[in-house]
Amino acid sequence: MAHFQLIAFHAPQQDYFVGYLQDIITRSGLKAGVDMKDDYIRLVIHDTDPKAIETFSENLGRWLPFSIFMGKMHSGEDDLNPIDEIYKAKPAAISLCPRCLGELFSPDSPNYLNPELVCTHYGAEVAPVSFPTPDWDALIADLKSGTSVTLGARTFSQTPTPLLFIADSTRLGELLNVTDKEIQVLQSIEKPILKCAIKDEALKAACGKDFIRVMLFDDAPTAILSKKLKDSGVSYCFVEPFGGLEASVNKDEVRLIHAPRLHSLEAKQPDDTLINRYVNMVEEFDLGAISSLGAYAPASLQCEFILRSAKVSKRVISFPAFDAEGILERIAKASESKSRLVANFESHHPEAHAALASGTHPGLFDAVCAVLGIEGSGYEAVADTALAYLGSGGVKVDVKYSEGSFDYDSLVASLMSFRLAGVENSLLCYSLFESLADMFVDTLTHLHQRFKCTDFILMGELAANPAFADRVAKRAGKLVCHISRRHPLDD
């Protein structure tokens, strides 16, 4: 009789976690084995020696890192054959495990303050890195004096940027309004960037915003930087955005938004990035035997709807690009009432009118910022404004199709009307995402009736937007909504 544990792991193409378990088994002298199949890691223990089992349990607590892909665990007893093969994990672009950090900061370790240290404790053969040791004292002094410093390919400073680097993780709860789950994710072996609400008033004033992207150290050089900053009394600084691994946490569900260093997508259809992403997710949800739909909602709102049948995967609806040039003229020509709307808007909000008339706001969400007078630009600024809304329910923004194409002009005109009516920006932005979600569900319902598909996969950055994604899931009805936990939602 063997004791077994099944650990849900939502990224089977990433096997470093299995490697950590194998390493701990080996170092604990335990008669056990570990393997991986589909979305589960299987640990089989045949050892009956209480001391070996106790040692293994202690080492798990000391050395096993948390992963954002970990799910629930199920334990039991069964007649199982031993797993004799030693599991060999593949190299992965992850951060430092607890044992690495012990080596990095122990003065008697050969890896003490070694910026070239990479984790190999999951059993992979990782190529060495080259990183010249900086003058840490001079670097910290420059940073504290207000001078920007470069560490590898990253630039750190005391001047606010859209990305906050927290050196003292014990202050996460003081600086930010974060849940225990968000803290756990920030400290995970993957070290993703998360958008968080700012709690500290001084930090909020310095940033000039209520929400900011946040990261902790994610390699040896930034781990050393964190310690040096913390030891010198600096809890955080800022870093120039660099396109790192980014995730979101919504009701304890972790979603990857961008994952440039995890490379999870297989080349199912390499000549088409979007359909390739969709087909990978079809396999994730085991939808290969049935027809399904893909719904892609990017930050540009240039949305795509995809049909996958037994024969082909193809786009069936594609939104055109937003056209900022001449948008006010198009709105004014649509009807007499719209003409009056444009005139009233110019009279009451001349700066917003002039910004729209300039045609220099190339994306839809840039235009939304101009209409509503929101500081910042693009999807990010609108999404942050929506996050500030704490009520329930909203107003109905005019989101629709016209002459077979998505009607951006009506959407912008609707927002102009609501601003003239004095609707609060946070409510209006929240309502915009809910109205977009309603349009998405209506479109999917139409496609369901046409193609008889009941399952759809929601992709794109808006799939990580709580106002949008929660509304889609709530209104889906008989349609089954799937959002990946394995693959990034967007490029």
The reported pLDDT for the residue numbered 167 is 98
Distance (Å, rounded) from C-alpha 425 to C-alpha 418? 9
Determine the 3-state secondary structure of 2 from DSSP.
strand
pLDDT digits (tens, 9 = 90+) for 327-348: 999 999 999 999 999 999 999 9
∠ CA 145-204-166, rounded to 5°:
55
Distance (Å, rounded) from C-alpha 60 to C-alpha 73? 14
Q: Record the tokens describing residue 109, joined without a space.
A: 């370790």
Q: Record the tokens describing residue 112, joined without a space.
A: 């003490």
Percent of the chain with pLDDT over 70: 100
Which residue do the tokens 């001449």 mark?
326
With b for 16 or more beta-carbon neighbours within 10 A and e for fewer, the 442-478 pattern comes to ebbeebbeeeebebbbbbbbbbbbbbbbebbeebbee
For the beta carbon of residue 52, count every other beta carbon within 10 angstroms.
Answer: 17
The reported pLDDT for the residue numbered 203 is 96
The reported pLDDT for the residue numbered 376 is 86
With b for 16 or more beta-carbon neighbours within 10 A and e for fewer, the 156-180 pattern comes to bbeebbbbbbbbbeeebeebbebee
The reported pLDDT for the residue numbered 156 is 98
Distance (Å, rounded) from C-alpha 376 to C-alpha 209? 10
The reported pLDDT for the residue numbered 360 is 81
The reported pLDDT for the residue numbered 80 is 82
All structural domains of the chain: 2-78 (3.30.70.100), 136-250 (no CATH), 265-491 (3.30.420.40)
Instruction: Provide the whole-model pTM.
Output: 0.92
Q: Is there a contact between 96 and 220 (Cβ–Cβ < 8 Å)?
A: yes
Instruction: Return all residues near 257 (Cβ < 8 A) that are at least 6 apart.
Output: 246, 247, 248, 461, 464, 488, 489, 490
Q: Is there a contact between 413 and 398 (Cβ–Cβ < 8 Å)?
A: yes
Distance (Å, rounded) from C-alpha 225 to C-alpha 134? 10
- DSSP for 218-281, please give it: -SHHHHHHHHHHHHTT--EEEE------EEEEETTEEEEEE-TTT-----SSTT-HHHHHHHHH
Distance (Å, rounded) from C-alpha 369 to C-alpha 225? 37
Q: Is there a contact between 279 and 269 (Cβ–Cβ < 8 Å)?
A: yes
Distance (Å, rounded) from C-alpha 243 to C-alpha 215? 12
- The residue ranges of the chain whose pLDDT is under 70 are none
The reported pLDDT for the residue numbered 82 is 86
Residue 13: closest CA among 274, 284, 243? 284
For the beta carbon of residue 341, count every other beta carbon within 10 angstroms.
Answer: 20
Distance (Å, rounded) from C-alpha 367 to C-alpha 410? 13
The reported pLDDT for the residue numbered 223 is 98
C-alpha separations of 122 from 2, 27, 29, 194, 225 in Å = 24, 12, 16, 25, 24
Distance (Å, rounded) from C-alpha 48 to C-alpha 56? 12
Q: Is there a contact between 405 and 326 (Cβ–Cβ < 8 Å)?
A: no
- Identity at 448, one-letter amino acid code: H
